[in-house]
């Protein structure tokens, strides 16, 4: 199969879909890999490294898409890329369609088969292609939020860690999954107090055992007075997830008024529409805005800040699924691997993903009825 790896064109997206090492594996398996020129530079990989592994360097985006059968990307196709898709293409990347009806409509109209990293599962129902980026995003969320608390960044001037016997900063985290637990790791490591809101008792108990610290508290929604808690915290991290669906709105516009001026909101769920009513996407070049005196950090591709690490982690996780898609026709690959089938979002001009359909209030089709 001809596998194409285009250069990412979303703002400040420095990752690339495949590392040279994974490209070599695919070529050894008999596939052809086409790389858009300079696609790997943002992650520290030169054209020469890919060529040494057997990839062909394509200088024209039009030529790349014209030759491609399987397109392996990182972020969702941008309008220029969508315009080049056709029914002969399989697109494999993060899609985050739930909050983006326009992109959903455009991909349906293209006729391409589109598979979302973020809804592929493993045998335990976990999300193996979302996990590595969630680990990175969770760690960077606290790191970025701590920077935003600095006075020069518009923040309150609070240091998360305690010094000179002073009370440490206080971080509130919504969601105790991969993002939330990694955010808590870093916040506790910085010396902050952490309150984490998690709906499932078993998970709360697991996190309490994991951290075993008087600076860590895990609560359910029923156990807290949100307005009182908001008045006490310096940073709020939104890390709630509905796989494939729109993120739940956990803070209203009114809730912002209970936060102290210069407090920071970090919304890791911005790709799925965001956890906060005040959320709108930002970029690495302009990462923040201030609303009601609260600094908002809502970068839509947080892991791109550490593109080398993120590319290596993502390519390692995605490689078996790329190989499965390349080795056999799509319908056979999906039937052989139900976990891969869970990622199919669009095929033959039809919406397949139930979670996206629910978020957009539209119909969907079962993939096995149309492929």
Cite the active site residues.
Answer: 96, 271
Using only C-alpha atoms, the chain has a radius of gyration, in whole angstroms, of 21
- As a whole number of angstroms, the distance between CA 37 and CA 40 comes to 8
CA atoms within 13 A on the CB side of 19: 17
Q: How far is CA 4 from CA 61, 196, 315, 344, in A?
A: 10, 41, 14, 19
Instruction: Give the bridge partners for 276, in sequence order.
Output: 251
For 61-96, give one letter per residue: b (16+ CB within 10 A) or e.
beebbeebbbbbbbbbbeeebbebbeeebbbbbbbb
Rama region for 305: left / alpha / beta (φ>0; ψ in -120 to 50; rest): alpha
- As a whole number of angstroms, the distance between CA 107 and CA 84 comes to 11
- As a whole number of angstroms, the distance between CA 59 and CA 37 comes to 5
H or E stretch covering 180: helix 178-189
């Amino acid at each position: 199969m001809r596998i194409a790896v285009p250069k990412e064109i979303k703002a400040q997206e420095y990752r690339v879909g495949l590392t040279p090492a994974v490209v070599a594996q695919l070529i050894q398996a008999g596939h052809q890999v086409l790389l858009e020129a300079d696609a790997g530079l943002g992650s520290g990989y030169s054209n020469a490294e890919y060529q040494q592994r057997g990839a062909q360097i394509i200088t024209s985006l039009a030529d790349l898409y014209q030759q491609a059968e399987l397109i392996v990307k990182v972020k969702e196709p941008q309008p220029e890329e969508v315009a080049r898709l056709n029914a002969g293409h399989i697109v494999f990347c993060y899609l985050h369609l739930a909050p983006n009806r326009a992109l959903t409509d455009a991909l349906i109209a293209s006729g391409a088969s589109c598979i979302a990293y973020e809804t592929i599962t493993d045998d335990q129902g976990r999300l193996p292609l979302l996990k590595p980026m969630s680990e990175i995003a969770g760690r960077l969320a606290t790191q970025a939020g701590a920077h935003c608390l600095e006075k020069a960044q518009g923040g309150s001037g609070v240091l998360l860690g305690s010094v000179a016997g002073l009370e440490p900063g206080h971080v509130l985290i919504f969601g105790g999954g991969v993002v939330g637990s990694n955010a808590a790791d870093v916040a506790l490591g910085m010396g902050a107090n952490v309150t984490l809101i998690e709906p499932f008792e078993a998970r709360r108990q697991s996190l309490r055992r994991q951290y075993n610290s008087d600076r860590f508290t895990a609560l359910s929604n029923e156990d807290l007075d949100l307005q009182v808690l908001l008045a006490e915290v310096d940073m709020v991290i939104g890390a709630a997830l509905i796989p494939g669906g729109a993120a739940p709105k956990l803070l209203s516009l009114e809730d912002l008024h209970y936060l102290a001026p210069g407090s920071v909101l970090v919304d890791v769920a911005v790709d799925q529409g965001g956890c906060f009513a005040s959320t709108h996407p930002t970029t690495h070049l302009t990462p923040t805005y201030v609303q009601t005196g609260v600094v908002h950090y809502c970068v839509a591709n947080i892991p791109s800040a550490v593109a080398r690490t993120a590319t290596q982690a993502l390519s390692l996780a995605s490689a078996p699924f790329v190989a499965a898609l390349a080795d056999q026709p799509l319908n056979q690959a999906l039937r052989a691997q139900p976990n891969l089938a869970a990622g199919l979002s669009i095929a033959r001009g039809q919406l397949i993903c139930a979670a996206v359909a629910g978020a957009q209030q539209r119909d969907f089709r079962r993939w096995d009825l149309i492929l």
